[in-house]
Structure 1
Amino acid sequence: MLMSPLVFRSGRDRFYVTVWVGTLVLITLSLFAPLLFTPIVYLQLVIVGVIDVLVTGLLIWLVADLKYVLTEEHLLIKGGFIKSRIHYNDITRITRNPGIWAGYRMLFSRDAIEVHYKTGLWGSVIISPEEKEAFIEELKRRNDRIHIEPLEKKL
């Protein structure tokens, strides 16, 4: 039976949006700041402006297009030009509420899960699907050998 691809969008929270916007502003300021201390040369201004638009556009594309697609054979994690394919049979376990500051991350929310798998450089990826529990259930349906770690209660 062919399963149609399911697309899960990345969740977004205020913290990540603030950090991302702050990063974009910092990049723009760092590109234009040196021009404040030299005589204005319009060609330099145009070149820096084009570089800023390209870098900002690339970074916005990474998060605006962030999604997790469950195809028939694998999980596709896509953000801009970055794509990762993980076969369902390679997924070993899912951890809820992982540490989000280290490792391979394709997320835009602190409400995340970590997908552990046999292949790949890091062996896991941290993602933040909006519908986290539905996403986990669908992964489990496609590979019933995936171990789902229980939700830890915070003190």
Structure 2
Amino acid sequence: MAHRIVHDRSRSEDVIHDAFAQILRCAKSFDPARGSARGWIYAIVRHTALRMQKNARRELALEDHTLNAVCEREQTVSNPASRIPDSMTLRTMLDQLEPKRRASLLLAIIDGRTHEEIAQYLRVPVGTVKAWIRRELVAMRRQLE
């Protein structure tokens, strides 16, 4: 169902990952009196796919020369951490993270890489990268409050 809505294998895998994460978070709210579990799960997957499809329309297509310039710029940065402002609290929090999780945050925030690019670079699934980034940002936000 997800693939029929988003028409892309990679994005449909992201939809399934996001949907199942939501299913696990909201499992307590499932009410069998309102319908079957299968119908509830399909509804969550469908809404997640539609939301992703809507968000994908906001993306802008770039010319090849623009994409090449971005890739060249990203390859020239040997150490993304060197671009972080001198904030001891932030550096301390980043130093405490597992190396791959720290790399996923730095590549996303500092270098502006996509989830797919980070997943390919770190050789992990895209859903894992998304989960790492979200969890670490939430944890860091809590520590900064």
TM > 0.5 between the two?
no
Name the structure where helix makes up a greater proportion of residues: 2
Q: Between the two structures, name the one with larger relative contact order (CA 8 Å, sep ≥ 6).
A: 1
Name the structure where strand makes up a greater proportion of residues: 1
TM-score relative to the length of structure 1: 0.30
TM-score relative to the length of structure 2: 0.31
